[in-house]
Amino acid sequence: MSAFPKDFLWGAATAAYQVEGAHDADGKGPSIWDTFSHLPGTTYQGTNGDVAVDHYHRFREDVALMAEMGMQSYRFSISWPRLLPQGRGTVNEAGVKFYSDLIDALLEHNIEPMITLYHWDLPQALQDEGGWEARSTAEAFEEYARLCYQRYGDRVKLWSTFNETVCFIGFGYITGGHPPGVKNPARALQACHHVFVAHAKAVAAFRTSGINGKIGFVNVLQTHTPLSQSAEDLAAYQLAEGIFTHWLYDPVLKGEYPAQLLAQAQAVWGVPQFAAGDEQLLRDNICDFIGLNYYKRETIAANHHESHLTMNTSGEKGKGHQQGNEFGFKDLFKFVRNPTGVYTDWDWEIYPQGLTEGIMNIKARYGDIPMYITENGLGAKDPIINGEVVDDDRIDYLRQHIGAIEDAIKQGADVRGYYPWSFIDLLSWLNGFQKQYGFVYVDHNKGLARQRKKSFFWYQKLIGSNGAER
Ligand code: BGP
């Protein structure tokens, strides 16, 4: 027997841009990722989502594999420009039909759909009008959300508005590594505010939609540890907690920003600027649940230098966290390599206890909020031995993290589901196809043929025993 409740949902996750392909099929409009990934030098070896793993045309085969693995829920995202090519206004019925058919196929197999409304692929048309820096994008998002509720709300109970603000705002507006490629913290904070406004408007619309379901928000669960117990490392650690947790969770779980940080940001940059009614809007529209995406822990140290992000996008160990070039902000903090840490080939620390700690920290700060682990997984180049994909490292990683969730449940956390990233090997935004996460391998040399990995059969057993056999 495991400690997982009987109705715990064992699932897996993907995102539209990373699996669907069909980037201009059947009336879909371009997204900012379609544009960005076609610019030279933006992604690993120029990879893009034009075809991805062609889930758009093969979703029935993929859903059959999900069912065979025993999946009880599937987290996927909707491509906004597939439904609304201009971001608002005219509806592309062929796009609506694609997700409608996908939902029907899932339900036929008793797989509960969990929809993410925004997993980073903003319609390019809205970017051209200012993207998240323009308040009108929040209004367009509400229109898009209402359309999804109308068309899918009769069949879908689990919804989340946004995936990982820290990534699409942080990389999009601070480091410039994601579209729209801006490097300006003040612009980031205002764009981020509009995301919170869009979220709150979509939650408000959900609550009057008559849907018998729940709506939440998905954040990175970033567990931090200070590099040392020195006063300056501890101060840096506190600040990182404030920015990466409190700033990004408080508005959706408490309905307000952390007061001290807000005052500091407004004093230094004059942002975020609130429109009349924003404070009330946030307060009135707190989430029903929080989705947590956990991959790694970050070790935090004081930082006295200008630093730039050296990201490992090649999978050659040691390319990340290069001394003097770690991600950070001068006089605030930086992310450093933990001297005792165990790292993946992409320099992500493997630290399962961080998942238990992170869940318990969320519970301590926000009370008894229901939680779903909406992403967790190991990016690796999987070995193929005699034709079989032997992803033992992934099995180990998942086993340990499932144990960490069980520990949190035993300590009283209300965790209701687990969605490993990812159901199938897919396109990693900046790392191409070589960073694999799936239970299902896709052979790019054999017309994207699907193949079950060793982890597929392992997860199948685990689901069958509600987490006991692992
Ligand atoms: C999360 C994203 C996913 C996915 C995952 C793995 O931040 O929500 O879309 O890509 O990270 O990241 P990567 O592909 O960079 O390894």
Q: Which domains does the chain have, with CATH numbers?
A: 9-465 (3.20.20.80)
Question: What spacing in Å lies between the alpha carbon of 218 and ligand 1's midpoint?
Answer: 13
Q: Which atom of ligand 1 is found nearest the CA of 18?
A: 9
3-state secondary structure of 423: coil
Does any ligand 1 atom lie closer than 6 A to the CB of residue 419?
no
Q: What percent of the chain has pLDDT over 90?
A: 94
Our separate counts of H helices and E strands in the chain read 16, 16
**Integer Cα distance of 381 and 359 in angstroms:** 29
Q: Whose CA is nearest to atom 13 of ligand 1?
A: 428
Query: pLDDT tens digits for 34-53?
Result: 999 999 999 999 999 999 99
Q: What is the mean pLDDT of residues 261-280?
A: 97
Q: Which run of H or of E encompasses 162?
A: strand 158-163
For 407-425, what is the mean pLDDT?
A: 98
**pLDDT at res. 117:** 98
In this predicted model, which residue has the larger pLDDT, 462 or 331? 462
What average pLDDT does the segment 124-133 reach? 98
3-state secondary structure of 300: strand
Two tokens, residue 394: 């992934």
Mutation pick for ligand 1 pocket among 421, 425, 433 (CB with most ligand atoms within 8 Å): 421
3 state DSSP class of 109: coil
Per-residue pLDDT of 137-161, as tens digits, reads 999 999 999 999 999 999 999 999 9
Q: If you measure from the C-alpha of residue 248 to the centroid of ligand 1, how many angstroms do you get, rounded to a whole number?
A: 18
Mean pLDDT over the full length of the chain: 96
Residue 19 pLDDT: 98
Q: Which pLDDT score is estimated for 321?
A: 73
For 89, left (φ over 0), alpha (ψ -120 to 50), or beta? left
CB 456 within 8 A of CB 69: yes
pLDDT band at 107 (very low <50, low <70, confident <90, very high): very high
In the predicted model, is pLDDT for residue 240 greater than 80? yes
| Closest residue by Cα to residue 44 from 428, 446, 389 | 428
Q: Which pLDDT value is given to residue 379?
A: 98
Q: Could you tell me the distance, in angstroms and rounded to a whole number, from the CA of residue 277 to the centre of ligand 1? A: 34
Average pLDDT over every residue of 378-386: 98
Q: Evaluate whether 271 touches 190 at the Cβ level (below 8 Å).
A: yes
Is the beta carbon of 421 within 6 A of some atom in ligand 1? yes
Which of the four pLDDT bands, split at 50, 70 and 90, describes residue 320?
A: confident
**Rounded-to-integer distance, Cα 305 and Cα 236, Å:** 13
Nearest CA to ligand 1 atom 14: 428
- Is residue 120 lining ligand 1, measured as CB closer than 6 Å? no
User: Is pLDDT above 80 for 323?
Assistant: no
Q: In this model, does residue 324 exceed pLDDT 90? A: no
Residues belonging to the binding site are 18, 119, 163, 295, 421
Pocket test for ligand 1, best of 55, 77, 429, 437 (most atoms within 8 A of CB): 429
Q: Is the pLDDT of residue 327 over 80?
A: yes
Mean pLDDT of 79-97: 98
Other Cβ atoms less than 10 A from the Cβ of 368: the count is: 9
Nearest ligand 1 atom to alpha carbon 313: 15
In this prediction, residue 328 has a pLDDT band, given cuts at 50, 70 and 90, of confident
Q: Decide if pLDDT at 355 tops 90.
A: yes
Q: What is the pLDDT of residue 326?
A: 81
47 neighbors 433 (Cβ within 8 angstroms): yes
Shortest-distance atom of ligand 1 to CA 379: 16
Cβ–ligand 1 distance for 428 under 6 Å, the answer yes
Residues 409-421 have a mean pLDDT of 98
Does the CB atom of residue 427 touch ligand 1 within 6 A?
no
Percent of the chain residues topping a pLDDT of 70: 99
From the alpha carbon of 429, which atom of ligand 1 is closest? 14
**pLDDT at residue 112 is higher than 90:** yes
- Decide whether any atom of ligand 1 lies within 6 Å of the 431 Cβ: yes
Predicted pLDDT at 408 = 98
Token representation of residue 303: 């930082």
Residue 55 Cβ inside 6 Å of ligand 1? The answer reads no
Catalytic residues: 164, 375
Distance 370 CA to ligand 1 centre (A): 23
**Quick one: pLDDT at residue 234?**
98
Torsion sign across C-alpha atoms 394, 399, 404, 409: positive
Of 220, 222, 375, 424, the residue with max ligand 1 atoms within 8 A of its CB, to mutate for a pocket test, comes to 375
- Cα(46) to ligand 1 centroid in Å equals 17
